[in-house]
Every structure is written in C-alpha cells, then in structure tokens.
Structure 1
C-alpha cells in the first residue's frame, strides 16, 4: 500500500480564534505513488450537539430512549481540486507533495468551543480526497473558538452575595431542631486562575452528629434535547471539614476555592447547552437523612473585573464601538437559560485580551470520532479546547479536581 500523508495545517500553529477572526492555512497531501483522484474538498463547519440515552422498562421489556438536539452555526465548502479546476473527471497525482492554501473568516455570534461526554460545541476543518473505485482519504483538524465573556459587561458582579438556608432532619415521627448554614462571598465575578474567598457558618441545632461539611466549586451544565433537559454537575474543587456534634458549630473563615481552566458561564450564543457555576456548602448527616446543600451562584468570565485586574497590574483596554452590527444579533435565548439580558445586547468584542495564558480545559480531552471515520482518516482523535487562565494564585493541595462528567 502506498504511503500517504494528508494534513490540515494552520498558519503559525495557532489554536485559539475569536468570532470574526480570519483563519489561514493549507492542506498538505504527500503522495509517493501515482494516485487517481476525482476531487479534493475542504469543509469547515461549526455546530453544537447534545446526545444521550436512557434505559426504560415496560413490563418485562427493557429498551433505550435516545435524546438529542443540534445547532448549526456555519458550513463552508472550498473545492481545492475537481473537474472544474483540472478539466478532467479524474486527475492522476504523481509522487510529490501538494499544497492547497485556504482562508476563511469566522462569523460573529458563535459560542465558545466546549467538549463533554454528552454535549459539544465543535469547529472542525475536514478534507476529503475522493478516489474512484477506492476508499476515500480524509483528514480533520479541530480548533478552539473563544467567545470572550467580559465580566465588566454584567452588572452587580462586584457586589456581595449571601445565602442562608436550613434543614430539619426527621426520624419517624420526631423532627429535630434545624441545621442552619449562612454563606457569604464578597463578589460574584471571577476568572479561571483566581481563588474564591468565602465565609460560611454552620450551626447544628439538632441532636444528630454531622459526619462532615464540604465547600465545593460546582459546574452545573444543562443539556437541552428536543424532549428533555439533562443536568450534569461537575465538582471541580473542594475543601472538607470534619464532624459537627449535636449542638455544635463550624465555620469557614476566608477559605478559598481555586478556579481551574473552565469555559465561561452561560456559553452565550448556544441555545442547547447552558453552563452555571456555584460555591456550595454541603452538610452531611451521619446515618439516615439527606444533607443540606446551600449554593451561591458566581459568574466565570474570560476578562476579569476592571478593579481586580488593576490589583494585579493589568490595564484593561477601553471598550470600543461594536464590531458586529446589532441588527445581526440572534434573538435572546429561551427563558430557561436565564443569562443576563445585557449580555446579548452587547457585541463589543475586546480589541485584545489582557495579558493571560491559554490552557487546556480541566474537563479533559474527548474523542472526536464521528460516523464515517475509517482507518483512512487522519488528524485529531482526541481534543480538548483551551480557555483563558490567569496565573494569579496557586491551587491549594486540598482543592483537587475530583469528579468530572465522564
């Protein structure tokens, strides 16, 4: 069998692009023996997809129900070689290295890349070499698109957030005095790399011992299929305290939860995947009974609050006039997404991100295999998007990543 190498190469090996950016590169096809080809076509597509299945029972019969949904953002085709370009139904490529340059511009109002087991937002280059009476040869290449979420465009993120809740444990006909939790955060907007300082007071007024208390940084993702919504919770970092005896108390005083590399809140411009983040205090009772969970929502962005950036010596660029015409904006998402209204009325992309790094998502890499992939498909087999990360603090040893959607 002849040795071939089909690649999609991006100029400057750039991996992160923003809506409106132009991507340039080339398809390189190395052939060591004469090869008959009908056409070579490059495609560039952007889409979001959710998909999962659940088992059901009807009498003695068990069956599977599939749920899915999809959004398409664009589909560009670029014919690199065909009858129109060669003048013949078939072209014989002699042994050589063939290069086909390309250039494509991303549209505005597209969401950030996202990878998880049951939902993805992907931007994929794929090239297909159509051969007569033989298997086609394919290659693909995924890129990260980053739609920056500027925390300064959302009101009230510098304000304090507090929440108080309580729970009564019942055992048979007896009800205990309540377990009370009060949580406080000094602000609500953060970026990956920061630590979230928080204060929490736990008052166990019951006569039961609480086995432990936990503070967690939680990522909650809603996947909206056409007939059902599934919510998956990823517990990213945690701090754990010990027992609280009946009548006892516990406190978290200015303890900190590290924010790993994660996508921005809301996944704006995507209607079928919604991302939210919470600081959650959990009190687990010993023995029977369900624990008390007290969540406080925070917003994770790509560009920090101006006041926070200044503390770290960063001068954020002043906002400019919108690049994309407001008339081209999509309508607001359905109410179940609940993203701040102003987020969808502002198209002013920052001219440049403040000094930061890009790092691989804490959710890890996922398989990019698709229907139609064969042994003749070259390119990415696993892919993890990258997101902004501010190296402003070091994660604590006890704030370890411990439960990610699989």
Structure 2
C-alpha cells in the first residue's frame, strides 16, 4: 500500500527549535489507493537513552538508563470522526494536516554520543485495520538556550597557574629541582560555537627538564548515568580540537598565543538531563622527558547559545606563591548560590549553566546564528544516522 508522508516545520527548514518555543508545521500524506483507517495522528517525542557495558565475557554487565521529556499527540483523523464500523475511508490523493506543540522550557539539548543520546522526533502513525501501522519518523534538533550574559561570572577572565617540579629518577629523597611554571589565561569563561578562544600561555622553565612541546586541547566531557543520583556511571572524554606549540628549554621563558575556534558542539548542560551531562574545558599539556609526569593545566569553560556582549576586561589577581596549582578568577559579583571558597583542588567553582531566557525568541538584539551539524558526534550503535545542528556565530574573537 504505497503511502508517503512529509513533515515540514513552519519557516524552519533547518528543523531546529529551542526549548520553550512553539513547534508548528504541516503533515502531508499521499496515497495512490483508497484506504480505510482507524486513526491518523502525529506524536512529538523527546527521550534520552544511555547504555554501556563493563567487564569482559561472562563477567560483563550492561548498564542502561532511559528518560522521557516529551510525549505529545495530535489526532488528524480521530475516533470521534469515525463512520459506522469505526473506520474512515480516505480516497486516493494528498491530505495536508496542521499541528502545533508548545515545547517545555526545561528540555535538554539534542545530543548524540558513543554511549547515549538525547533525541526528539515527529512520528506520524496511520492505524490501518488488519494491517501493521504505517509509521513515518523524522528527527529534529532541540536546543536549550544558554545565555552567557545571564551569569556575571562568565564575563570575567580566567587565569590558572601550574608549578611543576621534577625529582631525579629513582632518587626521590634528593631535593627537587626549581619549578616549571605555566600560566594560562582566557579573556572570558563563556563561548558559543563560531567564536575564537584567545588563549595566552606563559611558561617560565626554571627546572632541570626541557619541555619539547605543549599540546592544547578543547575537551568535551560527557557523563552517562543509569538514573538520577545513580552511582552507576560512565565518563567519556573527547578531544574536540588539538593544537601544538613549540617547547621551552631549560632556563628559558616563552609566551604563546593560541586561537581556538569553537566548532559546532552542544551547549554545556550538567543539570537538565539526569542521565547525560555535558561540560567542557581547555587542557594544556607539557611534554617532558621520560620517567617524569607531564605538567597539565585545565581551564573549565561554558559553551552557550548566546554570546557575551560588551565584554569589559577586569583586573586580574596576583599569583599566590605557595600553592602548586592556583586559579585566579577576576573579582566579579557572583550569584548568591555560588560559593567563593576554593574546593579540595584549590579551584574556585564556576556557576551552573543559566536556564533558558523567558523571551520566546532568544536572539532579540543580535544577528541570528546559522546552524551547522555537530562536530565529533559519535552515535550509539543503532540504525540512526541523525546529526544534531547547533548555532554558529560569526563573531571571530572572544
């Protein structure tokens, strides 16, 4: 029974919609034959799924988590319109139906990963008597708006320092060498895809070990859970970007300026979904000779959907001489919920990702972004080949 179905979103060929907006469109059904149906409806669904395996062979165990966010149904041909016998006869031809759905404001962004996904789809179902249902599914992208201007802490520069000392190999009782000091700075802590992160690095090598090179990575860290507050979890670390710079010899001091253009990636979100959480950081790794641990320094950043406007540089704090790893956030007015007490890693916390703005359209005073398919969007093993799209801005510097 040849039936075709096309679903179109109103004025939205990219099929990208924000949480809290109205999703509307048309469904066009075409049949080359007359047919009887019990009902025709469209279901708009949002679900998350996580799955991974631990152990080997007979000792392996599979962990699975699922979460539902959206399940709305609109009938085009309903039971209340049935003729006698509970069936409706549709003549051969084309039929166009309209649908509309208000998306909840707290939906997590679409995501595809190696061990899980967050997906949204329209599913048109034709209930035909005595035959299997005809189902037509189409995936689309939902984005949770993360306005970087809503959090004052993200507007401030971020400075991190690492002092690394080296002990003689197998002679740990000997006095360590003077340190290799790495100081890294970014002008703000929040970025959107399409922007360039201007990273500045200063290395002062007073140690007795040379650094042959420095590797800079933009890291996406994904955590998968079976359910809320579950102790069963899987962590995935994905290098999104990778760059290398020259090294720093013994007794030398070097300055580096690295530009990292943020590709199309999902926004940071560690609160909306209970089973898939996403965060980002910049990692700087110095390569030193064998038998020594490489110095590593991490700078946490937030990826949002609305770029920071009217950035005003602020004064930076001075390094503390006694700590091994020190973070120097600029003085800013933090929300009451954000503590300014360093944690056990001597790192000041940064506030959670802000929620979606109340305005129905999240770009009232700026040029709307374009939308590009996600970079590094590995997919859990199934028949799906969908790649979400995320907003890309044309702002070239941070």
TM-score (norm 1): 0.76
| 1:191-210 Cα deviation digits (max 9, x unpaired) | 22221112212344444443
- CA deviations 1:331-355 (Å, max 9, x no partner) are xxxxxxx8726835x8533644021
Report the Cα distance in structure 1 between the residues aligned to 2:156 and 2:371, rounded to whole angstroms. Answer: 29
Inter-CA distance 141–28: structure 2 relative to 1 (3 Å threshold): same
Q: Report SS of the residue matched to 2:310.
A: helix
Q: Report the equivalent of 2:351.
A: 340
Deviation at 1:161, TM superposition (A): 1.3
1:114 and 1:122 in contact (8 A); partners too: yes
**Which is worse superposed, 99-108 or 83-92?**
83-92
> Within 5 A, what are the aligned runs for 1:181-220?
181-220=182-221
Q: CA deviation at 1:28?
A: 2.1
On the 8 A contact 1:44/1:75 being kept in 2, the answer is yes
Shift of 1:365: 5.6
Deviation at 1:240, TM superposition (A): 0.6
Sort the Cα spacing of 1:213 and 1:383 in 2 relative to 1 into closer, same or farther, 3 A: same
2:170 matches 1:172: yes
Report SS of the residue matched to 1:266. Answer: coil
Q: Give the conservation status (yes or no) of the 8 Å contact 1:112–1:267.
A: no
SS of structure 1 residue aligned to 2:266: coil
| Aligned 1:367-378 pairs, distance under 5 A | none
* CA root-mean-square deviation: 3.0
Q: Provide the C-alpha distance between the structure 2 equivalents of 1:38 and 1:293, rounded to a whole number of angstroms.
A: 63
Match of 1:235 among 225, 236, 239: 239
- Give runs of aligned pairs for residues 97-246 of structure 1, distance below 5 A: 97-169=94-166, 171-174=169-172, 177=177, 178-225=179-226, 226-246=230-250
Shift of 1:100: 2.5
Matched residue, 1:404: none
Shift of 1:243: 4.1
Q: Structure 2 vs 1, CA of residues 157 and 22 (structure 1 numbering), >3 Å: closer, same or farther?
A: closer
Shift of 1:82: 4.4
Question: C-alpha distance in 2, partners of 1:201/1:234?
Answer: 26
The SS at the match of 2:152 is: coil
Per-residue deviation at 1:169?
4.4
- Answer yes or no: is 1:349 the counterpart of 2:350: no
Distance 1:193 1:84 in 2: 50
For residues 60 and 144 of structure 2, the distance between their equivalents in structure 1, rounded to whole angstroms, comes to 36
Q: Is 1:256–2:267 an aligned residue pair?
A: no
Tell me the distance in 2 between the aligned counterparts of 1:25 and 1:368: 29
Task: Report if aligned partners of 2:115, 2:380 keep a CA contact under 8 Å in 1.
Answer: no
Deviations 1:65-93 (A, max 9, x none): 22232332221122323443222334443
